[in-house]
């Protein structure tokens, strides 16, 4: 092998080496470097967020205490019970009590099963009440339910006078159907 | 910033002169004689050694008595790049060979105004080779090697276009200078006109100033024509190629180092961040859990506020409806549905008036009769319209 042959071999090998390096090694290296850079940036950002969280730990503890006080303060506005049957019983009791206070006769009081889409924190229970009284009694019942604590809302009202031909001398008798809903704090699922 | 000193060497027939100048000041000047090309190598090496300080580069000019200069005016229609090859091919016709090979070069220059001239020069190759050998022995790199006529105009006080006469012993050289520099050189036996006024550093040399003008000119400027032989040019091209390859390899290595350093720095930054995260993992987990609790609690409070705001106000609606109805009207049924549909049924002297009255209730809209209105006689023996009205309650 002459010196010229050797030189051609060396130059050829160098060209092949540079081509491999340029076409495979370099893109791969650049890609890896870009990945490394992205990872480093993400990790630095995570660290910054972690530092910020740690720096605000004391303030967060104070906020948590205030928040707990606020949550505890919600208790009187919610129905008793941590399960749907308990809350429904509580709601039925409240409706019966309000009716009794305003001379409204409760004909039926049935729990209603409805899909609960209120909120992730609170659950809703509903009862359907059939009552009988005069106009004043029914309106007082509605007022008592809409302004009372715990927070109760009337979904629907249906008031009718069953006997319109009874005459003016007869005492007024109205029949009402109310769908009443209340909220309770369900037991946290493990 | 001080420039590195350059050695200006002028080679005349039988004499070599060298000047070391910096910032237009001559630091050293020396001369010696030579008789044959091999003497010339020794003479240049000796002169370089006597310069008093190490010199690494030199510009060499060949004086008029050693070279042949020709000017073809007007210039033949050649491209500037082809002029050198044209003169090399036409050298036997343009120059006397005297039995020795010649080194030639040419350039197309502006002579007067817009006219062009082909400025050519030739030097005996053995002399040129001896100069290069001498410089190589002395460890000096020859930057340029060309005719002295190219640099002599730069040794005058104010070089202006026209003819300049440089006397040198019994002869004088008349150099024609154009816009691009020297374009013609003629040797005349005796100067008829006065010699040029030389630059102050040369004047300081006294009577020897005119002899050293070419060497000084080489320190000030480089000659336009290059009288380097083909093998020297090939060697220079080879050296330049090797230098370029070395530069490319150096650049590639630097890029690689930068690449690796950057990667290492990123790796270090990521590892450092991960280490700090690992160190604070416990505190961080508890802080994040606390924050999650706070978010959940705040969300619950917001939800409860929303639930309270959406509480029903049916009593207010009933009051609004009853207040707009006249005394002679009465309801037998009132239904407020969960979808906001409100239905009223009752008796009134005019059902249409009741519809109009219900339409005035602020929280109701789209009030209309539902079904036919019938005229009925009530228990009080009055004839009234029995109506059924449906309306839509505004969303809260």
Full DSSP string of A109-146:
EEEE-----S-SS-EEEEEEEEEEE-HHHHHHHHHHHH
Q: Hey, CA dihedral for A22, A23, A26, A27, is it positive or negative?
A: positive
The partner residue sitting opposite B262, judged by closest CB among A33, A155, A164, is: A33
**Is residue B312 less than 8 Å (CB to CB) from chain A?**
yes
Average of pLDDT values for A12-37?
91
DSSP state letter for B134 = H
Q: Tens digit of pLDDT for each residue in B251-270?
A: 989 998 999 999 999 999 99
Total number of residues shown for chain A: 190
Give whole-number Cα distances, A7 to A1, A14, A22, B3, B239, in Å: 10, 10, 22, 40, 17
Average of pLDDT values for B203-214?
85
Give the residue carrying structure tokens 């006997």. Answer: A163
Please give the residue that has the higher pLDDT: either A189 or B201: B201
**Is residue A136 less than 8 Å (CB to CB) from chain B?**
no
8 A C-beta contact, residue B329 and residue B349: yes
Average of pLDDT values for B278-297?
90
CA distance B390 to chain A (A): 13
8 A C-beta contact, residue A109 and residue A146: no
What is the CATH code for A78-184? 3.30.70.60
Cα(B343)–Cα(B346) distance, rounded to whole angstroms? Answer: 10
Residue B98 pLDDT grade (very low, low, confident, very high; cuts 50, 70, 90): confident
Give the residue carrying structure tokens 């290492």. Answer: B264
Give whole-number Cα distances, B333 to A24, A160, B126, in Å: 85, 4, 132
Structure confidence at residue B107 (pLDDT): 93
Average of pLDDT values for B94-99?
87
Residue B73 burial by Cβ neighbours in a 10 Å radius (0-12, 13-18, 19+): middle
Residue B2 pLDDT grade (very low, low, confident, very high; cuts 50, 70, 90): very low
Structure confidence at residue A16 (pLDDT): 95
Number of CB atoms found within 10 A of residue B209's CB: 19
Residue B1 pLDDT grade (very low, low, confident, very high; cuts 50, 70, 90): very low
Supply A7's token pair: 């030189």
| Confidence check: pLDDT of A165 > 90 | no
CATH top-level class for B314-393?
alpha beta
Average of pLDDT values for B237-247?
93
8 A C-beta contact, residue A183 and residue A146: no
Which residues in chain A have Cβ-Cβ distances shorter than 8 Å to B332?
Answer: 160-161, 164
Helices B281-309 and A26-55 cross at an angle (nearest 10°) of 70
Structure confidence at residue A190 (pLDDT): 46
| Confidence check: pLDDT of A34 > 90 | yes
Which of A126-135, A164-173, B22-31, B289-298 is modeled with the greatest confidence?
A126-135
Average of pLDDT values for B59-85?
90
Which residues in chain B have Cβ-Cβ distances shorter than 8 Å to A33?
Answer: 259, 262-263, 266
**Is residue A38 less than 8 Å (CB to CB) from chain B?**
no
Cross-chain Cβ contact B379/A37 below 8 Å: no
Integer-rounded Cα Rg, in Å, for chain B is 54
* Chain A CA closest to residue B347: A164
Domain coordinates in residue numbering, chain A? 3-55, 78-184
| Confidence check: pLDDT of B9 > 60 | yes
Q: Tens digit of pLDDT for each residue in B315-347?
A: 999 999 989 988 888 889 999 998 889 999 999
Residue of B263, B304, B321, B382 best to disrupt the A interface, most CBs of A under 10 A: B304
Give the residue carrying structure tokens 């006469």. Answer: B165
| Confidence check: pLDDT of B116 > 70 | yes
Q: Tell me the CATH architecture of domain B6-228.
A: 2-Layer Sandwich (3.30)
Average of pLDDT values for A126-140?
93
8 A C-beta contact, residue B10 and residue B130: no
Please give the residue that has the higher pLDDT: either A107 or B113: A107
Angle at B321 between CA B320 and CA B326, to 5 degrees: 115
* Chain B CA closest to residue A148: B311
Give whole-number Cα distances, B238 to B234, B241, B243, B244, B374, in Å: 6, 5, 8, 10, 118
Average pLDDT across chain B, whole number? 88
Structure confidence at residue A116 (pLDDT): 60
Supply A188's token pair: 């946290």
Which residues in chain A have Cβ-Cβ distances shorter than 8 Å to B288?
Answer: 53
Average of pLDDT values for A23-49?
91
Supply B303's token pair: 């939800």
Cα(B366)–Cα(B393) distance, rounded to whole angstroms? Answer: 9
Which residues in chain B have Cβ-Cβ distances shorter than 8 Å to A50?
Answer: 276-277, 280, 284
| Confidence check: pLDDT of A123 > 90 | no
* Range of lowest pLDDT (B25-29, B48-52, B105-109, B237-241): B48-52
Name every residue whose Cβ is closer than 8 Å to that of residue B70 and which is 6 or more positions away in sequence.
B94, B95, B120, B121, B122
Supply B129's token pair: 């080779």
| Confidence check: pLDDT of A168 > 60 | no
Structure confidence at residue B188 (pLDDT): 83
* Chain B CA closest to residue A165: B379
Cross-chain Cβ contact B333/A122 below 8 Å: no
Say whether pTM exceeds 0.95: no
Nearest residue to A33 (alpha-carbon basis) of B265, B276, B274: B265
Q: What percent of chain A has pLDDT over 90?
A: 48
Residue of B266, B285, B299, B376 best to disrupt the A interface, most CBs of A under 10 A: B266
Domain coordinates in residue numbering, chain B? 6-228, 241-307, 314-393
| Confidence check: pLDDT of A115 > 70 | no
Residue A177 pLDDT grade (very low, low, confident, very high; cuts 50, 70, 90): very high
**Is residue A34 less than 8 Å (CB to CB) from chain B?**
no
Which residues in chain B have Cβ-Cβ distances shorter than 8 Å to A151?
Answer: 304, 307-308, 311
C-alpha B58 chain-centroid distance: 33
Cα(B362)–Cα(A17) distance, rounded to whole angstroms? Answer: 86
| Confidence check: pLDDT of B236 > 50 | yes
Q: Residues 78..117 of A with a Cβ closer than 8 Å to B: which?
A: none
Cα(B7)–Cα(B214) distance, rounded to whole angstroms? Answer: 12
**Is residue B294 less than 8 Å (CB to CB) from chain A?**
yes
Structure confidence at residue B208 (pLDDT): 82
Please give the residue that has the higher pLDDT: either B244 or B189: B244
Average pLDDT across chain A, whole number? 87
Give the residue carrying structure tokens 């026209």. Answer: B162
CA distance B335 to chain A (A): 4
| Confidence check: pLDDT of B8 > 80 | yes
Average of pLDDT values for B20-32?
85
Average of pLDDT values for B130-149?
90
The partner residue sitting opposite B273, judged by closest CB among A47, A63, A166, is: A47
Q: Tens digit of pLDDT for each residue in B166-197?
A: 876 677 888 998 888 899 998 887 655 566 78
CA distance B325 to chain A (A): 16
Nearest residue to B336 (alpha-carbon basis) of B373, B363, B309, B374: B363
| Confidence check: pLDDT of B382 > 90 | no
The partner residue sitting opposite A53, judged by closest CB among B291, B299, B307, is: B291
Integer-rounded Cα Rg, in Å, for chain A is 37
């Amino acid at each position: 092998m002459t010196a010229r042959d050797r030189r051609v071999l060396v130059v050829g090998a160098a060209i092949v080496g540079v081509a491999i390096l340029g076409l495979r090694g370099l893109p791969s290296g650049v890609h890896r470097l870009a990945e490394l850079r992205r990872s480093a940036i993400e990790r630095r950002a995570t660290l910054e967020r972690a530092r910020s969280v740690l720096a605000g730990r004391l303030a967060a503890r104070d906020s948590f205490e205030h928040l707990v006080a606020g949550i505890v303060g919600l208790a009187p506005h919610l129905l008793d019970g941590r399960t749907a049957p308990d809350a429904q019983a509580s709601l039925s009791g409240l409706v019966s009590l309000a009716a009794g206070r305003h001379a409204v006769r409760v004909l039926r009081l049935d729990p209603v099963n409805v899909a609960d889409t209120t909120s992730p924190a609170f659950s809703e229970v509903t009862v359907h009440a059939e009552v009988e009284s005069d106009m004043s009694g029914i309106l007082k019942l509605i007022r008592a339910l809409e302004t009372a604590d715990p927070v109760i809302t009337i979904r629907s009202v249906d008031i009718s006078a069953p006997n319109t031909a009874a005459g003016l001398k007869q005492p007024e008798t109205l029949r009402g159907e109310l769908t009443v809903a209340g909220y309770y704090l369900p037991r946290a699922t493990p | 910033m001080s420039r590195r000193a350059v050695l200006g060497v002028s080679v005349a027939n039988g004499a070599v002169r060298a000047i070391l100048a910096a910032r237009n000041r001559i630091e050293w000047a020396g001369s010696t004689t030579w008789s044959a090309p091999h003497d010339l190598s020794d003479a240049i090496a000796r002169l370089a050694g006597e310069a008093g300080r190490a010199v690494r580069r030199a510009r060499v000019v060949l004086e008029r008595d050693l070279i042949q200069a020709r000017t073809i005016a007007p210039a033949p229609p050649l491209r500037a790049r082809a002029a050198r090859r044209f003169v090399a091919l036409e050298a036997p016709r343009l120059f006397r060979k005297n039995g020795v090979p010649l080194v030639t070069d040419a350039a197309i220059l502006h002579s007067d105004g817009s006219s062009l001239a082909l400025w050519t020069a030739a030097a005996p190759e053995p002399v040129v080779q001896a100069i290069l050998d001498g410089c190589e022995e002395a460890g000096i790199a020859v930057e340029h090697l060309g005719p002295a006529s190219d640099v002599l105009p730069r040794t005058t006080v104010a070089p202006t276009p026209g003819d300049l006469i440089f006397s040198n012993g019994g002869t004088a050289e008349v150099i024609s200078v154009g816009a691009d520099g020297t374009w013609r050189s003629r040797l005349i036996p005796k100067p008829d006109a006065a010699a040029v006024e030389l630059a102050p550093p040369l004047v300081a040399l006294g009577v020897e100033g005119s002899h050293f003008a070419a060497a000084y000119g080489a320190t000030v400027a480089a000659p336009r024509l290059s009288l380097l032989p083909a093998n020297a040019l090939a060697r220079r091209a080879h050296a330049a190629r090797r230098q370029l390859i070395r530069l490319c390899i150096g650049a590639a290595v630097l890029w690689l180092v930068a690449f690796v350093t950057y990667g290492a720095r990123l790796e270090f930054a990521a590892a450092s961040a991960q280490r700090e995260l690992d160190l604070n993992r416990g505190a961080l987990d508890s802080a994040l859990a606390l924050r999650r609790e706070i978010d959940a609690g705040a969300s619950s409070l917001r939800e409860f506020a929303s639930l309270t705001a959406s509480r029903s106000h049916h009593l207010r609606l009933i009051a609004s409806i009853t207040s707009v109805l006249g005394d002679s009207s009465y309801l037998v049924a009132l239904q407020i549905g969960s979808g906001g549909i409100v239905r009223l049924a009752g008796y009134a002297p005019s059902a249409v008036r009741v519809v109009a009255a219900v339409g005035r209730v602020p929280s109701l809209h789209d009030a209309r009769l539902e079904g036919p209105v019938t005229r009925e006689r009530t228990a009080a023996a009055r004839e009234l319209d029995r109506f059924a009205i449906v309306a839509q309650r505004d969303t809260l």
